[in-house]
């Protein structure tokens, strides 16, 4: 049975949770937050149900990792902005055959825009010359350029920005944030991509997970620092105080971009989340705390770039039971039966210390 900690009496707590069940995600000021819509599950709701669920919970942005026309039809007229992905397996073809990129843009972008509000095209996800399938790295930039050229030919390059999503393992120096720098062995790969983004005036998309940094190094990184719950500044750097790891990681990326002549670029956090099960440091309480604090935090910027909301996408909409390893199955903020896994609200005064939705877990289809 799920556990949660409250300072109210047990009976009052249960009544309090039930009475607020209908207001799970309707948080004032959460306009900078979207949610990633992964589909690797055999028990997920229909696309129309998912889009309705997003709208009822005030998500006005989403990310699809590849085109899905049924999802596009559900998104028509919804006013939900979209990051649309070109999957990694198509990069080679797009790089070698510009006509393939043109056909893809016609089929999946021009045929649906503007009733589907495509905002970014993410060409590839976490492509790297040093991790995973390194053979794809040489194809990423030409694939991006050919997609951009197809979008520009339709005169939509000011409305739809073409970018790619990186992960933070490409940063070699991350501490302190002001010293952030990309690894020397990826500069030859990244610098031309950064140069293209500057030219195209497109943001860099970045997948930022404090969970993995904490799980790989819990000796030096405390759980409160990773979960936005540290009561005071943990790291001082050049007069800037860092009370959470998310800000430190994002500012480290900004510093790395500055060292690669990309200081003018905006960064969109295209994924961020915390798993509720499956490995060290996972629990419903930790995950609920992370998502809730993240939603509130990104409204205000970082110490390096204060006062500006950080466009951020929660990973992910649902637990996806066809993903591997086990950890990857537990990032959802909703169960597949559409019940919320957490109460992503921010209560003051310690009356509700965790936001795990125990009631919904008893109804889940997991």
Q: Where are the domains of the chain?
A: 10-19+28-361
Token code pair at residue 301: 């910027």
The residues that are catalytic are 126, 271
217 within 8 A of 245, measured Cβ to Cβ = no
Apex CA 117: angle with CA 111 and CA 119, to 5°?
105
Token code pair at residue 106: 């016609």
DSSP 112: T
As a whole number of angstroms, the distance between CA 342 and CA 359 comes to 10
Look up the CATH number of domain 10-19+28-361. Answer: 3.20.20.80
Q: How confident is the model at residue 348 (pLDDT cuts 50, 70, 90)?
A: very low
pLDDT of residue 344: 75
- The three-state secondary structure class of 46 is coil
Strand partners, 340: 334
2 within 8 A of 340, measured Cβ to Cβ = no
pLDDT tens track for 184-209: 999 999 999 999 999 999 999 999 99
pLDDT tens track for 2-38: 333 333 333 333 333 333 333 334 443 445 799 999 9
pLDDT of residue 227: 98
As a whole number of angstroms, the distance between CA 187 and CA 170 comes to 9
Token pair 């649309």: residue = 84
pLDDT of residue 31: 57
pLDDT tens track for 151-168: 999 999 999 999 999 999
Characterize the bridge pairing of strands 240-242 and 235-237: antiparallel
Strand partners, 123: 86
DSSP annotation string for 143-182: HHHHHHHHHHHTT-TTTSEEEEEEEGGGEEE-SSGGG-EE
**pLDDT for residue 330 is more than 60:** yes
For the chain, what is the mean pLDDT? 88
pLDDT (average), residues 83-107: 98
Peptide bond into 7 cis (omega under 30): no
Of the candidates 264, 173, 174, 163, which has an alpha carbon nearest to the alpha carbon of residue 210? 174
Q: Which residue has the higher pLDDT, 126 or 346?
A: 126
**pLDDT for residue 356 is more than 70:** no
Apex CA 229: angle with CA 298 and CA 252, to 5°?
50
Peptide bond into 166 cis (omega under 30): no
């Amino acid at each position: 049975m799920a556990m949660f900690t409250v300072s109210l009496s047990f009976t009052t707590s249960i009544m309090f949770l039930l009475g607020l069940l209908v207001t799970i995600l309707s948080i004032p000021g959460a306009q900078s937050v979207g949610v990633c819509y992964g589909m690797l599950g055999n028990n997920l709701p229909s696309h129309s149900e998912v889009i309705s669920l997003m709208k009822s919970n005030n998500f006005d942005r989403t990310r699809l990792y590849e085109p899905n026309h049924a999802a596009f039809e559900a998104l028509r007229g919804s006013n939900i902005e979209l990051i649309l992905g070109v999957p990694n397996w198509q990069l080679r073809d797009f790089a070698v055959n510009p006509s393939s990129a043109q056909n893809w843009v016609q089929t999946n972008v021009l045929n649906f825009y503007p009733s589907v509000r495509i905002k970014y095209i993410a060409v590839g996800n976490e492509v790297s010359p040093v991790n995973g399938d390194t053979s794809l790295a040489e194809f990423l930039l030409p694939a991006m350029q050919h997609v951009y050229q197809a979008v520009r030919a339709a005169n939509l390059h000011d409305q739809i920005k073409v970018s790619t999503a990186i992960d933070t393992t490409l940063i070699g120096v991350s501490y302190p944030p002001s010293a952030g720098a990309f690894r020397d062995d990826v500069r030859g790969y990244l610098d031309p991509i950064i140069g293209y983004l500057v030219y195209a005036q497109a943001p860099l998309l970045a997948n930022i997970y404090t969970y993995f940094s904490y799980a790989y190094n819990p000796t030096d990184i405390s759980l409160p620092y990773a979960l936005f719950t540290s009561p005071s500044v943990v790291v001082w750097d050049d007069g800037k105080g860092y009370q959470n790891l998310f800000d430190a990681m994002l500012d480290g990326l900004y510093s790395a971009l500055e060292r690669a002549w990309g200081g003018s670029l905006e960064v969109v956090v295209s994924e961020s989340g915390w798993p509720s099960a499956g490995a060290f440091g996972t629990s419903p309480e930790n995950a609920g705390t992370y998502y809730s604090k993240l939603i509130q935090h990104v409204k205000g910027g970082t110490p390096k770039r204060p006062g500006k909301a950080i466009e951020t996408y929660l990973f992910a909409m649902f637990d996806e039971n066809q993903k591997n390893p086990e950890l990857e199955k537990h990032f959802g903020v909703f169960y597949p039966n559409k019940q919320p896994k957490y109460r992503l609200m921010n209560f003051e005064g310690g009356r509700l210390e965790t936001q795990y939705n125990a009631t919904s877990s008893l109804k889940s289809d997991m």
